């Protein structure tokens, strides 16, 4: 009843997994990126599963990243399907939404040199900006149950990688569709995200992510169906691996502050000396999320020096 469709993407990460739940109303999780190749692959795969596009009645998006949801608008309009997406992701589909521009104040605060900000901003995304259809968008908040004839999906709001990231739990078969929240071989980046009600402040993305892992840890999950790569048979093991990854990373970030105070960009350069291109943004995001966490738990302290935040180990000079 679950068809896994690995739709190709132009990104290094490789295909994005789209999932067809073949129980009425037919539901598709993450249709994949807006490319001719992706579209053809999806149509062919659905046909292989004996389903015409017009039969899809519901599209659910785990988050707004373009590799997962670029085809949502086309598919919804072709099929007349409704698109379910978390309310916090909806503004990110706006025509004037500029992902990096919204984050520039945080990057400057992180000590990222303007020439690097310019460089990262000028890297062109090979995929077009995703759009939602004009009609038929259903905003979810988490907690909703999406019923089908033979099963149901519970919406779980699990932010950290994106503020409105959702996972879907199919209770009858104990299947978890994890989007980018839990992947087999990579740990998703806790990304910089402004607080919607107060855009000058950042969300505590790592704290949110770790809280989400604690929720998953207690759930009965038979199989995890991730947004990229192979399925995960042991959810608890994957959760504890992710928890350990961030615990180790917190120690690494803290050890960098042992001898001198640093801003996020400087710490990032020590931890990832080889990093380049768009990865610089991801590296800054990752280190900043860990620094925020360390400050909150009291292991590090932060000082604002002329608009740039410097960190040191608590107790060190
Ligand atoms: Zn992804």
Residues of 120-136 as b/e, b for ≥16 C-beta within 10 angstroms? bbeeeeebebbbbbeeb
How many helices (H) and strands (E) the chain has is answered by 9, 16
Domains, the chain, in order of start with CATH, read: 2-98+126-250 (3.60.15.10)
Question: Please, are residues 21 and 27 in contact by the beta-carbon 8 Å criterion?
Answer: yes
CA of 229 to the centre of ligand 1 (A): 10
CA quadruple 57, 59, 60, 61: dihedral, nearest 10: -170
CB under 5 Å of ion ligand 1: residues: 180, 227
CA of 198 to the centre of ligand 1 (A): 27
For helices 99-109 and 114-122, what crossing angle results, to 10°? 160
Residue 259: exposure state from Cβ atoms within 10 A (0-12, 13-18, ≥19): exposed
Residue with tokens 């999320």: 289
Taken as a whole, the chain contains a residue count of 317
pLDDT tens across the length of the chain (317 residues): 899 999 999 998 899 999 999 999 999 999 999 999 999 999 999 999 999 999 999 999 999 999 999 999 999 999 999 999 999 999 999 988 988 999 999 999 999 999 999 999 988 888 888 999 999 999 999 999 999 999 999 999 999 999 999 999 999 999 999 999 999 988 888 999 999 889 899 999 999 999 999 999 999 999 999 999 999 999 999 999 999 999 999 999 999 998 889 999 999 999 999 998 889 999 999 999 999 999 999 999 999 999 999 999 998 65
């Amino acid at each position: 009843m679950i068809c896994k469709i690995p739709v190709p993407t132009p990104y290094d990460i490789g295909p994005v997994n789209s999932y067809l739940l073949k129980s009425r109303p037919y539901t598709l999780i993450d249709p994949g990126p807006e490319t001719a190749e992706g579209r053809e692959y999806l149509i062919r795969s659905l046909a292989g599963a004996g389903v015409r596009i017009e039969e899809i009645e519901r599209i659910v998006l785990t988050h707004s990243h373009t590799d997962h949801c670029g085809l949502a608008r086309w598919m919804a309009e072709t099929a007349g399907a409704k698109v379910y997406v978390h309310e916090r992701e909806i503004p990110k589909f706006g025509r004037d939404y500029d992902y990096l521009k919204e984050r520039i104040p945080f990057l400057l605060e992180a000590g990222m040199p303007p020439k690097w900000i310019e460089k990262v901003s000028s890297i062109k995304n090979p995929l077009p900006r995703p759009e939602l259809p004009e009609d038929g968008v259903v905003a979810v908040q988490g907690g909703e149950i999406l019923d089908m004839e033979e099963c149901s999906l519970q919406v779980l709001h699990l932010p950290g990688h994106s503020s409105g990231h959702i996972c879907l739990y199919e209770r009858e078969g104990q299947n978890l569709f994890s989007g980018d929240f839990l992947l087999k071989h990579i740990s998703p980046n806790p990304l910089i995200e402004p607080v919607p009600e107060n855009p000058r402040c950042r969300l505590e993305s790592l704290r949110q992510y770790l809280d989400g892992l604690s929720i998953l840890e207690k759930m009965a999950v038979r199989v995890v169906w991730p947004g990229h790569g192979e399925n995960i048979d042991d959810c608890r093991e994957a959760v504890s691996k992710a928890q350990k990854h961030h615990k180790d990373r917190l120690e690494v970030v803290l050890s960098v502050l042992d001898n001198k105070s640093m801003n996020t960009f400087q710490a990032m350069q020590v931890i990832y000396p080889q990093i380049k291109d768009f990865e610089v943004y991801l590296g800054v995001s990752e280190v900043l999320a860990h620094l925020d966490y360390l400050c909150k738990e009291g292991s590090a302290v932060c000082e604002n020096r002329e608009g740039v935040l410097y960190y040191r180990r608590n107790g060190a000079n």
